[in-house]
Structure 1
Amino acid sequence: MKKMLNDRYEILDKIGDGGMAFVYKARCTILNRIVAIKVLRPEFSNDEEFLLKFKNEALASAGLTHPNIVNIYDVGQDEDINYIVMEYVDGMNLKDLIKKEGSLDYSYALDITKQIAMALNQAHKNGIVHRDIKPHNILISKDKVAKVADFGIAKATTSSTITVVGNVIGSVHYFSPEQARGGYIDKTSDLYSLGIVLYEILTGKVPFKGDTPVNIALKHINEDINFEKDIPNNVPKDIKNLLYKLTQKKQSDRYQDAYELIKDIEHIENDVELDFEEDYELYHTQKLNSLNEELKTNIPKQLKEEGVNTNMRKRSKDKINNKKKMTILGVLFALILSCSIAFVAYSVKDLFTTKNYKMPDFENATLEDATSRLESIGVSVEVRNESYDSSVEKNHIISQIPAVGSSIRKGQTVKFDVSKGGEPVIVPNLVRKTLESVEDILKESDLKEGVIDYEFSSLAEGTIISQKPRAFTEVEQGTGIDFIVSKGEEVKLVKVPNLVGKTLEDARILLVDLGVGKIKYEENKDKKEGVILSQSINAGQHVEESKKIDLIVNEYKEEKVVESPSKKIIEKQISFALSEEEEAVKVVVKEKNTSKTVYDKTINIQESGNMISVPIQGYEGETKEYEIYVDNAFYAKTTAEFK
């Protein structure tokens, strides 16, 4: 494999190997970002069918922008190498995660399923059916975000279906029955495959195994999944029912779209019990209805055929037993009459003794509580209307009929308007924004600030590190968004050492966790030249790491040369530049002939600059040579004429 594609993508490492392509980790040298590059296997480079599928992946997913879909950045060809550049996900694929863990906790399994469903919902809304949903094509990032990849065999839908003729394409362990048969495929086919993925997440294995792909495909068509035997006992019933509905053989019995599945998952996450049984009973009722139709058709026919003989026998018996029947009918009539009178009397009594009650105030109460209290006194409850209302909690009562204090009695029906909670809104991405700046964003999204915690972080103080719920998830209006906010980098305190009496070189070593600040020079004949006389922060104090300490260094002043009565003394300066790359250096200037030192200082170039001016003296008409040393090494020489 080449190390560079099209002079732009630097190949760093091989991270994947599939039946159709290799996947590499790479760096885009133009945008300086890490990417993943899928490279078509060399043996398929001249295969038009595979090239079409490979390019189809880019076309299918290029227009899909969603947090749970791997982004496509670029498509290219370098000589005979065909490649797709996509988002790099730092993590592992779901198959490797299942192999590592064996099986996953059902709550995490449900969360992964929801994220995949959100990706499929986006694809399906854009008319794309994936056709190869399997754990290998689901990437899980280190922060547990699931991303769907590999739209290599995806198809654009026409009239909501795809008919597959010829070779069946996909991964046989996750086939829908219609894929296995080579029949029409729609978005419910992806949902069936997602159901098989959920089954594998919960159990650590696929439901059907066989010696050959054909054998496995036939099991998808003909055999039922053994939910009771394979699914762990701790998995809630609603999740099992959800899985059951996903993996129905008939497409019409499954979830009809991903959004319907997402809503059921959210109900389970919020501990709202789902009424799956109703659907299953309806399924069986349809069989009974067909049986009833058969009865309606066949029984009248049978009665018609037997009608003549029956009537003849009946007339004969009527003549013989007429008297007997009349007696029995008389007794029965008397008995019915007496029971009716008793029943009417009891009913009238009950009507006249019905107790009246005052209508309680149920506003903001739960529907369950109101229903329980009213039914205990024989009053029925009817939900007149359900509407979104962010000011009233979900399944709580907004208003009531009759009003508070009105008279109600047994047998009456009370009507309630019930809140569905706030309207669903999408949570914005607030990570890396400042806490002050999100107030308006939350207000625009009809959300509010939740619980705020603070942690040390490399991000600037006041910057949001993470949020809950996560960005791009759907929540009710008025939901509080919890934040973890940066306190800035953790401050490390360092004890200030005693620097008085030490040289500047010693101070630089002792201040390794702090730093040397401004340096001033003063003269003290009682102290040794070059030692530190004082420091800006006293020894023993604790200060923040990297704090700079200002120093005063002892420097003897040069004695001025007194003018000779016979010759005039001339004062001049010599100037030279030091290297700007140095931080602090020791500079010494000497007269060459006498070796007399005329200048000896340690210079902080970053503080005072790199230009040095040294005062010199000489007799009028005299010429002197000077040698310059930097950090005890010869640096330069210069000549001065005193005129």
Structure 2
Amino acid sequence: MTYEQFKQRYRYDPANDILGEGAFGKVFRAVDTENGSTVAIKVAPVNMSNESHSLKHEFETVGKVDPHLNIAMYDECYRFSVEWAGLHDFAVLEYYPLGSLDKIIKNHSLTDTEKHDLAVGILEGLRHLHTTGAQGVVHRDLKPRNVLIQKWRGKYVPKITDFGLSKFSDSISNSVISQSFKGGTLNYASPEQIKGEQIRRNTDLWSFGVILHEIMTGEVPYKIDDSSESTLRQVYERMNSQSLPESFKNVREPYASIIKKCLMVNPNQRYRAAEEILLEIRQTPNSPVPPASPPIPSVAPVVEAKADQTEIFEDSPFAGLGKAADSSADVQPLKEASVPQQKDLKESDGYVRSKPKKTSNNTPLIILVGVAALVLITASVIYFGGDKKEDITYQTTDSTTTAAPKAVADTAALAQKMDSLFNIPDYQKYAQISLQDSILKQRALTKLLNKALEADKFGLEYAEDRDYMSSVCKAILLIDPKEPKALSRLEKIAMY
């Protein structure tokens, strides 16, 4: 794909569609014109002298990790040389409307159950990272801003992202304090990272302890305003004595003990693995931990639609890279398409056809009207045909040139309505609307199949879990009545 083709497919306004920015670049909300979905585009300059910190390297690192419920994966990553901006990487990933964990902590009053779900989800993601392959991956930059949030069935699902500093733990390595540690990341970095000492997997567990403290109390345990020697000396003294904020006294067990053991300055006294923390939570009454989620295949939908060739932004995507932008600005909403009633559903699919209304026999009158219309049309063609050929040809050509953009706009509007229903969630109505477009239908089927895999994590023991799984499976069967796994799940539900 060329840079021009990329711009044609992914549309965004750099000034108004910015979602966030950091040391590695910026993230924008964009529309994929091939299927009308909303995606996030991460743009980062390439420093050829430090390729290991490039976005492309991050994409390749995450690509070696099996898909998981609590890991946010990139769909694609491209590298383009742009004349006015130099070499840049562009990564595409799913758009999460709720944003990252730091926004949830700041803007929501979390219940005990929500705090539990967030903590367990992050631990599940870390366990998967640390045990993937033969060596495992150490994230090294875990913080609330690098945890995206999805909400389904009323529960928060954290997804670890931003693997710019991640390393395979084939050997214990030294941490390098780079620009990544600016903007508050020092608050989440382990003592060994800050000092540039050797690190291991449980470096991420120090960061988890800081995040868990923030989830439970709303503040970090050790606030580091700068990296001066005097500031760090004071913070180290507090860390060594575990002098935690007053708000820590309100943290209940087992989370209070977990936080203190995660925040041990000596890595040898800290938890060694995420599994140890999950086991401790599991053994505490009234703190059930769901079983580990199975890997979720990331099945890409088959896309055949031709991209709209109409440019919608005047400036390059890099125009806002050096300027301040209002991250609260919203994308202009697409025009919502009307939803026609389904007309091709069969009775065998569970739908009953409405009986046709009785009408009077007007056949003779219809025949007479048809003959008269035919005579008038023939006379018009004979009289006007020779003079109007150019006009007719011009009108046909004009309508053809405007058909493609209109089709793309309709698809985008339909996709926006579907995304809204998916987030409510109203999966069956979501599935019904997808039947109007072949591309959206395939996309909807993929998302629903993945949603069923996510729901498998909770089992069928409770009635609400069975109801939820049933709604997802019925939505799948609206799109594909013979989908075997959906049929099998419904059979299991029927046995309860």
The answer to whether structure 1 residue 125 and structure 2 residue 139 are counterparts is: no
- How far apart, CA to CA, are the structure 2 residues paired with 1:70 and 1:217? 33
How far off its partner does 1:155 sit?
A: 1.6
Q: Which residue of 2 aligns with 1:110?
A: 116
Q: How many residues align?
A: 307
The answer to whether structure 1 residue 55 and structure 2 residue 56 are counterparts is: yes
Larger strand proportion of the pair: 1
- How far apart, CA to CA, are the structure 2 residues paired with 1:95 and 1:36? 18
* Structure 2 residue runs without a partner (length 5+): 83-87, 297-339, 344-350, 381-496
How far off its partner does 1:6 sit?
A: 6.1
- How far apart, CA to CA, are the structure 1 residues paired with 2:269 and 2:188? 18
Q: Which residue of 1 aligns with 2:205?
A: 191
How far off its partner does 1:84 sit?
A: 1.6
The alignment-based identity, stated in percent, is 28
Structure with the greater relative contact order (CA < 8 A, sep ≥ 6): 1 or 2? 2
Quick one: structure 1 residues 51 and 180, their matched pair in 2 at CA, closer, same or farther if it must change by over 3 Å?
closer
Q: Which residue of 2 aligns with 1:73?
A: 75
Following superposition of structure 1 onto structure 2, how do residues 437-452 of structure 1 map, counting pairs within 5 Å? none
The answer to whether structure 1 residue 204 and structure 2 residue 207 are counterparts is: no
Q: 8 Å contact 1:72–1:87 — kept in the other structure? A: yes
The answer to whether structure 1 residue 177 and structure 2 residue 191 are counterparts is: yes
How far off its partner does 1:269 sit?
A: 6.2
Q: 8 Å contact 1:134–1:193 — kept in the other structure? A: yes
- How far apart, CA to CA, are the structure 2 residues paired with 1:15 and 1:230? 31
Q: 8 Å contact 1:105–1:202 — kept in the other structure? A: no
Q: Which residue of 1 aligns with 2:175?
A: 164
Determine which of 234, 240, 261 is the counterpart of 2:277.
261
Query: What's the secondary structure of 1:142's corresponding residue?
Result: strand
How far off its partner does 1:118 sit?
A: 1.3
Following superposition of structure 1 onto structure 2, how do residues 562-581 of structure 1 map, counting pairs within 5 Å? none
Q: 8 Å contact 1:36–1:85 — kept in the other structure? A: yes
How far off its partner does 1:3 sit?
A: 8.5
Quick one: structure 1 residues 219 and 269, their matched pair in 2 at CA, closer, same or farther if it must change by over 3 Å?
farther
Q: Which residue of 1 aligns with 2:162?
A: 150
Quick one: structure 1 residues 15 and 180, their matched pair in 2 at CA, closer, same or farther if it must change by over 3 Å?
same
TM-score (norm 2): 0.54
Q: Which residue of 2 aligns with 1:343?
A: none
Q: 8 Å contact 1:4–1:11 — kept in the other structure? A: no
The answer to whether structure 1 residue 244 and structure 2 residue 260 are counterparts is: yes
Q: Which residue of 1 aligns with 2:454?
A: none
Aligned-residue RMSD, C-alpha: 3.7
Which amino acid in the other structure matches residue 210 of structure 2? I
Quick one: structure 1 residues 548 and 513, their matched pair in 2 at CA, closer, same or farther if it must change by over 3 Å?
farther
Q: Which residue of 2 aligns with 1:573?
A: none
How far off its partner does 1:250 sit?
A: 1.0
How far off its partner does 1:15 sit?
A: 2.2
Quick one: structure 1 residues 15 and 36, their matched pair in 2 at CA, closer, same or farther if it must change by over 3 Å?
same
Quick one: structure 1 residues 555 and 271, their matched pair in 2 at CA, closer, same or farther if it must change by over 3 Å?
closer
Q: 8 Å contact 1:60–1:151 — kept in the other structure? A: yes
Q: 8 Å contact 1:5–1:78 — kept in the other structure? A: no
Quick one: structure 1 residues 60 and 218, their matched pair in 2 at CA, closer, same or farther if it must change by over 3 Å?
farther
Q: 8 Å contact 2:56–2:79 — kept in the other structure? A: no
Following superposition of structure 1 onto structure 2, how do residues 35-434 of structure 1 map, counting pairs within 5 Å? 35-40=39-44, 44-46=45-47, 48-49=49-50, 52-64=53-65, 65-80=67-82, 81-101=88-108, 104-126=110-132, 127-143=136-152, 144-159=156-171, 161-164=172-175, 170=181, 171-214=185-228, 217-224=232-239, 225-227=242-244, 229-231=246-248, 233=250, 235-268=251-284, 270-271=286-287
Quick one: structure 1 residues 4 and 195, their matched pair in 2 at CA, closer, same or farther if it must change by over 3 Å?
farther
How far off its partner does 1:153 sit?
A: 1.0
Larger helix proportion of the pair: 2
How far off its partner does 1:636 sit?
A: 3.8
Q: 8 Å contact 1:129–1:157 — kept in the other structure? A: yes
Quick one: structure 1 residues 32 and 51, their matched pair in 2 at CA, closer, same or farther if it must change by over 3 Å?
farther
How far off its partner does 1:59 sit?
A: 2.1
Q: 8 Å contact 2:56–2:78 — kept in the other structure? A: no
How far off its partner does 1:251 sit?
A: 0.6
Q: 8 Å contact 1:513–1:545 — kept in the other structure? A: no
Q: 8 Å contact 2:176–2:193 — kept in the other structure? A: no
